[in-house]
Each structure stands twice: as C-alpha cells, then as structure tokens.
Amino acid sequence: MADLVLRRDVGSVAVLTLNRPDKLNALSPALFEELAAHLDAIEETTPGGVVLAGAGRSFCAGADVEALQAGVVTDDPEFRSRTMQRLGELPCPVIAAVQGHCYTGGLELALTADIIVAADDARFRDTHSRFGILPRWGLSARLPRRIGLAAAKRMAFIGDEVPAAEALRIGLCDEIVPAARLQEAALELAARIAANARTSAGIKRLYARSLELSLAEALENERGSSRPGGGPGAAG
C-alpha cells in the first residue's frame, strides 16, 4: 500500500505531502499515524522549515467520513487532536501550500501552519455546523486568532466556501499564487525562511508566548529573551 504521507527534503526544508489524491487527501486514522511518525523524526532533527502539501487537485477535504461511518477509530480519542497540536508547535516554521478543497479538518490542518500560501483555485470551508458537530482538532482556537472572532463565527455558522481572494482579504491565507506555481512558491518561501533558521525558532516561540500574556508581560518577555544568554524567545 502506498504511503499516506510522503516526505522529501529539499535543502534544509522538509516537505510533507498528504498522499490520498483519490480521496481528496481525507484524513483517516492511518494517515494520522503516518503524520505523527513524520513529526517524531522532524522533532529529532528540526529542519529549517516544513512545507505541508496535498497530492492531486486538493489540499485536504477534511476527515475521512467513510472511515468514521465504518467505525474506524484510534485507540486514543485525543490522538488526532494532539497530532495537530504537535504540528503547530514544531520549533521550525511551517508553511501550508493549499490548493482546491481545504475543508473542515483540512482547514484545521492548514491552520497549524505559520504561513498559508494558497493557489488561486483554493477554497476554504468549515462544515462542522452542517454535520451537527463541534470542532475537535483546534479550529475554535486557531481560526479566531487568525481572522478575528466575528469572521470565524461567520464561517462556522454559515458553512459557505471562502474562495482564495476572500481568504486573502480576511487574513485566512497570506499569499495567492497561480495553481501551477504553488509548490514552487511555497518552497521558495520556505528556503528564504530557512536561511534565517538560527532566529526563526526563537521568533516563533516569542510570538506564540505573547498571545498568552498581557501587553506588559509580553514586553517583559521580549526584553528577557533578548538579554545576553536569553537567546531569541528563550524567556517563558
């Protein structure tokens, strides 16, 4: 059976590709197992950056509904949520390269990235409300932090598609490129970031920590991180 998540290294950048194009890269329990194994390796070596991509015409259409209906589950009910959290907490910058469908669980996956590069055919959507379920993989925490509470609620309540141009306007993605250039553009950006790898991990920690603090605390944390011996983002 083909690997469900592929890894290739381009310079100091690790590219992880969801590899179920016939299923629009739907997130099955087996796919999560492979993704977690790749995260184990990445956490050991810490590349200069990670590009998260999807094979075929879509990034990810969400959870594998067929597997859910068949009762296929993981032994640990929180395993998939924690895998998403691990991806978002990688010390190196993560870039999501999104084309076609980026729905629900796929949207939650993309939101773990620090930067989202979208193809001009990308379509974002949260369908939890249409299925009568609540998010479990981080959407309610990450989406409002990225686009604001009101816009996040609108996406959740209505469940309509958000095309790439609108996603860029509201801050859901950071850049739009022609679909044919998506992989190239994401890799170019990752390589530029990796060239600053000595500080990017500290920057990522510093900014993540700032969201948990008051303004005064965040300013003190920043001062502490830049003191001799503190290192970038070392405080906290």
pLDDT for 193-234, tens place per residue? 998 867 888 888 899 899 899 999 999 999 988 765 555 444
- 3-state class of 99 per DSSP? coil
Confidence of residue 67 (pLDDT cuts 50, 70, 90): low
| Whole-prediction pTM | 0.91
Residues 6+ apart with CB under 8 A from 175: 115, 116, 117, 118, 168, 185, 189
- 3-state class of 72 per DSSP? coil
* Phi (first) and psi of residue 24, to 5 degrees: 55, 35
The percent of residues in the chain predicted with pLDDT above 90, rounded, is: 78
- CA 112/CA 108 separation, integer angstroms: 7
User: Which token pair is 8?
Assistant: 């290739």
- CA 22/CA 32 separation, integer angstroms: 17
The pLDDT tens digits of the residues spanning 180-194 come to 999 999 999 999 999
CATH, domain range 5-193: 3.90.226.10
The pLDDT tens digits of the residues spanning 135-174 come to 999 999 999 999 999 999 999 999 999 999 999 999 999 9
The residue extents of the domains of the chain are 5-193, 197-236
> Nearest 10 degrees: CA dihedral of 206, 9, 117, 113?
-40
User: Which token pair is 24?
Assistant: 């629009």
Q: Where is average pLDDT lowest: 25-29, 129-133, 153-157, 183-187?
A: 129-133
